[in-house]
Chain A
């Protein structure tokens, strides 16, 4: 701890121990704890306590009187936990009976402030910090703390309950790892007492008739298996999987979704997984059953005779039905991406069920049963279910599906995209799902091409897209543009796609949206127009109503860059320009110098730091194209013969001065926004690196020209940025470049700008200062 802070600490402790002083700001205490944690990473907490008796005084004061605010009580519990994380300090505190006094049955539990969730939470977090060594395990076992933690799992405060579960997992892991030195202990009798106690508790809870208890036990197990996969977790699962499996035999199955979470996190045996999967599929099986005339689709219903309870849940109320379906769909989506995904995966019935759900939502299904009719009413226009189903539908695009089902998917997607009832968020999801199905479905041998069905689909999609581009809702216009950009990026080179796109009004409408009143839409339109142009797909017929369309897109974008009042479109323009430059877009390579000069001129005046950043990115691409890739300073490349980068042509340096790229980079170096300055620094380092071998005397730094530049730079630092650097020769520029301490600057910029304000000393001073004001007021009162 630095001496300044040491000096301030006694006063702070006194303030904390004084019940009259209110610590108004919770975050101060949090920051204080963070600081102690950092200090303890490098220092011995025992020494810290011994060197600063004020700390012990604070702790014993709290222990004795507890007359401080719940906030400070919670703070002290957590602080002690941090100290006691080191075993020697733990012993020291243990001797002073302080630990038992705070965490034992006669401690915090008996305080009146125990009613406050913040104090209970502090108690748990204190123990969590403390539990890091074998001594702590003994303490936990002997003090009765573990039983209290069991009770806190059902705490009315969700934060406390969840923290209690986490703590149990933490203790269990500590006990099992501490005990198991390499080989797993298979005999439960040999497990540490703490571990036995916790495992017994979990086991009992799994047998409990009360669903909350089962849920708690399942949550503990899920967290345990999610955290680590040591040998002991295998042993633990070996012991607890039978009671978990038993849960499936109950009717109703308790805590279904916690059970699913557990089974997703653990490599359970095949049989149990199949059973669990069956349960998960029940709601979807019910949906299919309620809406199909045929005896039943194969696959989904086999072995999962829809439990009457699932049906009840689906029909009991709208919120129950929606909740159950959303959870099920989310679980299935997650499951499909996991290695323990059931095999065989019932792709066809799942796809059928998902399409049916979407059709129930849009009211286009003709249900065969009264249950189907009720579902229709419940799910009609339900945005939440629609979104979940569309997400899952997107995931299902990865599997192989029969053509007739793919056509059904396309049909339901078209219906959703077309329907006036679809909300903007549903449309966005529908666009995403559409894109995935186009990418993955029914691939032809030439895998980047669209299938004939997909092309037919596109033929119907473009008119809808046209309508969506004219939507009065900007979110819809925006997601339609984003979707279009993706389409072009993927298939812009394919002849059929190009033809379909050209025969629609989509390119013209997208171009018109460059003038949209909503800046997000303009930004997306910039991206789309850039993409269209890159692929040579720009709108052909210019409308007489729109004079802008008659000029080149490049000029339109330049216009947006220099005049648009919002940052997003300008950033988008720069992204497009950078991409164009990188890809050698025809409009750019026609006169690259003019292009870069014009962009830099516009960017240098821009108020948006991200635009200036993007400007530097564009400059970098320009430099790399002319000067080659930056040399790698990677230790592994040492052995490789370094390709000598071509020495830049003197004319190119002239160009850089003329653009003026140097000036732009130097200005950016002084930018008040740190990321810009950092980027400029990197760029100049690159430039310096590439020009080390350039001619020009090393002592050029003394030349009058560079002296004047430095003077200007200096004045700039002092805030007169309006002044141009003037026409400067490359030599002068190079001289400045060499004379600047770019590495030093890079180091400085790497630190966050508020590193001074964030210092612990400043924190302590701040806390004392707020109290100081209090004291003054108090004096006034007297």
Chain B
């Protein structure tokens, strides 16, 4: 199984979980059907024309109908965003296999899960709405609730215990490490340049190679650069995790982010940045490190609020081997690879587990707050939205591309606060993909259907799709696709002592042949030729005859023949040996030599020779021996 991401956009249908009692949210009117029927008003609330489920947020799980997940042997994880559904799979499906991931992926993935669990568990909600999920009722609801798919499979968040148990099934791997899977294939993670420890995977046998490219980046940010060379010579390249905003260039967006941040703060407003606790935030902090002095923002406090803020900032500094070259070399100076260490030291950046506690003592405005969750449905961000939403001096800047910012903002409307959307997605765009494919030249590309046509909103942008030759094979949800290659060869090892016994014969310059008699031993998809068991030594001469009868395998081996028969010389030889009245006929595949007198016919073809004579075994043997003179035996 390749990755197991969690679709969190389902949470956008739910009301935010406020950290402190929000009169606004708790006083929202219940929703009632057109006919005035208000039986759902406890479950559904209305806010500025949108309807939300008033319940603990729920998540949309990976597809489980199509395949029995208990039969999955291995899960390969490409980056920490792509493992958020892991506890659902490892704990509730009978899964007994192994999960492979790099260490930063596992550690930061743990932080993301821990944050998620924490955000949800610390605001216990008594109510759990389920009535609306009834198919007959769902039909009556307004969009987008009406159109939500498979709502019956939506699940509440997992617990920390489940997270720990899931993570214990992870086997840590390093870049370029070769891992044997049941002898059938070898898998290898390669740096994908997108996030700390993010990987592409190569799955290969001795004669076939499949690359799984997911969430890769060619930009120079903090992670180790993408390893492209190792992807060459792939039979199939499975491509996914491209940028979600192909028209936005991350550099321009970072500029936009900085400009709007400075503009707000200079006018005395506060800036809220809903974000994940790891990833782009490191790059943003680095940009701000260079920018704040020049923008005259040295006195503005930057707050990073997350239950895992401290761990995230510290983890980033210790994963030196997973960082880009520049940052790696800092470690040897020794200096912290990320400049946020200095921001913390100089008190410009302060981090807190939550808004409760120390933060409330230190809090000064105007300020810049980085906090989660980017969906605006849970986490400390909910509090700041409620706090700052009423003033047009303040700005919320969306940098994470995973959620539609308009949908995220819906339960906060009407909103006076300024909203800026500058999604920063460093993953491959289509120009980069086409360069990559030119460089790597896979025989076939397999990708989601969405990448093979321009985005629906920009149907004329023929440049916003994968353009490769032969055209990419696309797949859609729940579709089964046969990869376009067949396994034709297997590799077989020969045991040294058996190899020793071989006597190769050169039949052409550079080509030698040898016959092998051996036992093929197959175990764990590995094939080994071992010397055949020696015929057990006859204990006495008396029994020799019986033994030879009992072991029919040990027949005298006939030699193998090779070479071709030159017809003219063969005819001459026949004549020398007293055959006369010989006629040669050419056929499509070779020749027929007719011995009319003897009423015999010799059919010579490229790969076979037949002697057809009428019950004259002596003649046949004579002719056979003459034929054999022209062939090599070994």
Closest residue to B292 on the A side, CB-wise?
A: A472
Contact between A420 and B248 (Cβ–Cβ < 8 Å)?
A: yes
- Chain B min CB distance to A249 (Å): 35
B252 within 8 A of A: yes
From the candidates B256, B263, B294, B460, name the one contacting A518 in the complex (CB within 8 A). B294
* Proximity string of chain B (290-323) to chain A, C-beta cutoff 8 Å, 1 when within and 0 when not: 1101111001000000000000000000000000
Specify which of B255, B258, B296, B460 lies most central, judged by the most chain A CB atoms within 10 Å of its CB. B460
B462 within 8 A of A: yes
Inter-chain CA distance A363–B462, complex, in Å, is 12
From the candidates B252, B287, B299, B463, name the one contacting A420 in the complex (CB within 8 A). B252
Contact between B263 and A470 (Cβ–Cβ < 8 Å)?
A: yes
Contact between B295 and A470 (Cβ–Cβ < 8 Å)?
A: yes
B268 within 8 A of A: yes
- Chain B min CB distance to A588 (Å): 28
Contact between A381 and B260 (Cβ–Cβ < 8 Å)?
A: no
* Proximity string of chain B (245-264) to chain A, C-beta cutoff 8 Å, 1 when within and 0 when not: 00111001111101111110
Contact between A517 and B253 (Cβ–Cβ < 8 Å)?
A: no
Within A458-487, the residues touching B (CB, 8 Å) are 466-474, 476
A residues less than 8 Å from B268 (CB atoms): 543
Contact between A517 and B293 (Cβ–Cβ < 8 Å)?
A: yes
B125 within 8 A of A: no
Tell me whether chain A's interface is mostly helix, strand or loop, or mixed.
loop
Contact between A377 and B461 (Cβ–Cβ < 8 Å)?
A: yes
Once A420-B253, A420-B256, A516-B294 are accepted as A-B contacts, the answer to whether A472 and B463 lie under 8 Å apart by CB is no
Contact between A373 and B255 (Cβ–Cβ < 8 Å)?
A: no
Contact between B462 and A377 (Cβ–Cβ < 8 Å)?
A: yes
- Chain B min CB distance to A194 (Å): 55
From the candidates B247, B253, B261, B296, name the one contacting A363 in the complex (CB within 8 A). B247
Residue count of chain B within 8 Å CB distance of chain A: 32
B267 within 8 A of A: yes
Contact between B462 and A420 (Cβ–Cβ < 8 Å)?
A: no
B266 within 8 A of A: yes
Closest residue to A363 on the B side, CB-wise?
A: B247
Contact between B259 and A509 (Cβ–Cβ < 8 Å)?
A: no
Once A509-B266, A516-B294, A543-B268 are accepted as A-B contacts, the answer to whether A468 and B460 lie under 8 Å apart by CB is no
B residues less than 8 Å from A373 (CB atoms): 460-462
Specify which of A421, A472, A476, A516 lies most central, judged by the most chain B CB atoms within 10 Å of its CB. A472
B residues less than 8 Å from A472 (CB atoms): 254-255, 258-259, 287, 290-291, 294-295
B residues less than 8 Å from A705 (CB atoms): none
Contact between A505 and B294 (Cβ–Cβ < 8 Å)?
A: no
Inter-chain CA distance A687–B262, complex, in Å, is 51
A residues less than 8 Å from B256 (CB atoms): 420, 467
A residues less than 8 Å from B267 (CB atoms): 505
Contact between A376 and B249 (Cβ–Cβ < 8 Å)?
A: no
A528 within 8 A of B: no
B residues less than 8 Å from A527 (CB atoms): none
A374 within 8 A of B: yes
Contact between B461 and A543 (Cβ–Cβ < 8 Å)?
A: no
- Chain B min CB distance to A508 (Å): 8
Closest residue to A381 on the B side, CB-wise?
A: B249
A349 within 8 A of B: no
From the candidates B253, B259, B422, name the one contacting A470 in the complex (CB within 8 A). B259
B residues less than 8 Å from A372 (CB atoms): 460
Inter-chain CA distance A469–B247, complex, in Å, is 24
Contact between A473 and B255 (Cβ–Cβ < 8 Å)?
A: yes
B residues less than 8 Å from A21 (CB atoms): none
- Chain B min CB distance to A210 (Å): 34
Contact between B255 and A471 (Cβ–Cβ < 8 Å)?
A: yes
Once A466-B263, A472-B287, A505-B267 are accepted as A-B contacts, the answer to whether A420 and B255 lie under 8 Å apart by CB is yes
B residues less than 8 Å from A517 (CB atoms): 293-294
Closest residue to A422 on the B side, CB-wise?
A: B252
Inter-chain CA distance A698–B346, complex, in Å, is 69
Inter-chain CA distance A467–B259, complex, in Å, is 6
Inter-chain CA distance A419–B260, complex, in Å, is 13
- Chain B min CB distance to A49 (Å): 64
From the candidates A363, A367, A471, A546, name the one contacting B259 in the complex (CB within 8 A). A471
Inter-chain CA distance A377–B431, complex, in Å, is 10
Contact between B249 and A370 (Cβ–Cβ < 8 Å)?
A: no
A441 within 8 A of B: no
Inter-chain CA distance A271–B422, complex, in Å, is 54
Additional A-B contacts beyond A470-B266, A471-B259 (8; CB < 8 A) = A372-B460, A380-B461, A467-B256, A470-B262, A471-B255, A505-B267, A509-B263, A517-B293
Residue pairs across A and B with Cβ atoms less than 8 A apart, 28 shown, are A363-B247, A363-B458, A363-B461, A366-B460, A370-B462, A372-B460, A373-B460, A376-B462, A376-B463, A377-B462, A420-B255, A420-B422, A421-B249, A467-B260, A469-B263, A470-B260, A470-B263, A470-B266, A472-B254, A472-B258, A472-B291, A473-B255, A474-B294, A505-B263, A508-B266, A509-B263, A509-B266, A512-B266
The 4 closest A-B pairs by CB, nearest first: A377-B463, A420-B252, A470-B262, A420-B256
- A residues with a Cβ closer than 8 A to B are 363, 366-367, 370, 372-374, 376-378, 380-381, 419-422, 466-474, 476, 505, 508-509, 512, 515-518, 543, 545-546
